Amino acid sequence: MAIYGINISFFFCQATNSRINNATAVLRGLIFKIVQQQPSLIIHIRYDGSSEYENVWSALLRAFTNILEDPHLQSTYLIMDALDECTTDFGRLLRLLVKQSSAYSHVKWIVSSRNRPSIKSDLNGPTQIKLLELNEGTVGCCWLIHTAQVKRVGEKERVQPQNTGCCVQHCLTSKANGTFLW
């Protein structure tokens, strides 16, 4: 979605889905969204005579880098949700983040992830990525506000019986594992 000369490209990883739990899928998805907003950038992903035996990751990485280096690329936000759920080639993706995060001033990365030591140690180096942590107190406070709002709407609209709301709340809380739920 391009908004006033800004590209917003996003990808949501999900460990249980092999189509969206790997580094290649992330890169492919980010490229697709950028090119969808700025079609002129498609020239970077067309066949350029490189080796026919080049693997997909290398080809996508080359195209991605060329897109980010294109002088016509608008300001771009790259959003990646659930980095920790990238189960295949996770290290490759993390190295890409570390390298690319400080390479281009017109490109900003927004990445969410569960707290994982390897992510924290790799991103604490000389990158432009800032780690924001939600501790359980913050998450709990946000959850209480969310719960109060849901309850208030439910009472006002009279849509759900009391026990259904409690059951849904219990399920969501138990599966959140200390992460923030909207």
The percent helix, strand, coil of the chain (3-state, each to 5) is 50, 10, 35
pLDDT digits (tens, 9 = 90+) for 85-127: 999 998 899 888 888 888 888 999 888 887 777 777 777 666 6
- The model carries a pTM of 0.70
- β-partners of residue 7 are 76
Q: Cβ distance 102 to 96 under 8 Å?
A: no
What DSSP state is assigned to residue 84? G
Q: Among 16-25, 50-59, 63-72, 108-117, whose mean pLDDT is lowest?
A: 50-59
Where do the structural domains in the chain lie, given as residue ranges? 6-123, 136-176
Ranges 64-73, 103-112, 124-133, 143-152, most confident: 64-73
The C-alpha torsion from 114 through 111 and 9 to 32, rounded to 10°, is: -60
